């Protein structure tokens, strides 16, 4: 994975095709995003929104962005005790994911941007344990994990609209990680 990410970063930052002198990659962006989220257990649909601001100097674009996403999935339940007749259940659900970070990219042509991104990610999940008997051992709560997110993407400008596609990897505390393939449609102001 590391050699692949390094090759993409070098190709983006060292791109030498004919670059436009003036490109429309500066200003505020508001983007609706959706895609596929894969963690250790399964693959689910993720949705949310981004708010960002980009600065452009020549063909190089620098930006900051904040994001909130949620998982469109129901609670997943498991029987943690493998004994015959046991009715205990452990249920959990990925809740929300917050991100704040930066990106740097290169404009290729008049309307295409290739970029890399990195920043802070914070994911919350909820859980409940049902003891299957009297209920005296039941409990529930939530868990919040902080970590880092890195990614690569491309963005295309069409008037004041933008469309984007990106891959990102998030690594949180306790060895929890996510791979996401995202697409977005938004506006630049």
Let me know: does 183 contact 165? Beta carbons within 8 Å: yes
Q: What would the two tokens of residue 171 be?
A: 């690594």
Query: Where in the sequence is the domain holding 169, given as residue range(s)?
Result: 2-188
Q: What pLDDT digit, counting tens, does each position of 30-58 carry?
A: 999 999 998 877 788 999 999 999 999 99
Q: What pLDDT digit, counting tens, does each position of 131-155 carry?
A: 777 777 787 888 899 999 999 999 9
Let me know: does 125 contact 100? Beta carbons within 8 Å: no
Q: What pLDDT digit, counting tens, does each position of 84-137 carry?
A: 666 787 787 778 999 999 999 999 988 999 999 999 999 998 878 887 777 777
Let me know: does 72 contact 34? Beta carbons within 8 Å: no
Domain count, the chain: 1
Question: How high is the mean pLDDT of the chain?
Answer: 85
CA atoms within 13 A on the CB side of 106: 14
* Closest among 28, 34, 93, 37 to 64, alpha carbons compared: 28
Which DSSP category does 173 fall into? G
Alpha helices in the chain, H assignment, sequence order: 2-13
Q: What would the two tokens of residue 162 be?
A: 């933008």
Residue 79: pLDDT above 70?
A: yes
CATH number at residue 80: 2.40.160.20
Q: What is the pTM of this model?
A: 0.78
């Amino acid at each position: 994975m590391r050699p692949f990410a390094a090759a993409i970063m070098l190709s983006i930052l060292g791109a030498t095709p004919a670059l436009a002198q003036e490109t429309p990659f500066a200003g505020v962006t508001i983007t609706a995003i959706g895609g596929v989220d894969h963690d250790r257990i399964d693959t689910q649909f993720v949705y949310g929104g981004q708010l960002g601001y980009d600065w452009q100097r020549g063909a190089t674009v620098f930006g900051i962005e904040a994001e909130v996403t949620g998982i469109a999935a129901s609670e997943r339940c498991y029987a943690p005790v493998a004994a015959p007749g046991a009715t205990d259940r452990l249920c959990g659900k990925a809740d929300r994911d917050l991100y704040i970070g930066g990106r740097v990219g290169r404009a290729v042509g008049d309307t295409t941007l290739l970029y890399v991104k990195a920043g802070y990610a914070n994911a919350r999940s909820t859980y409940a344990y049902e003891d299957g008997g009297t209920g005296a051992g039941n409990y529930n709560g939530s868990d919040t994990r902080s970590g880092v997110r890195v990614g690569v993407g491309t963005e295309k400008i069409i008037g004041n609209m933008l469309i984007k596609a990106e891959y990102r990897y998030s690594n949180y505390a306790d060895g929890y990680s996510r791979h996401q393939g995202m697409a977005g449609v938004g506006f630049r102001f």
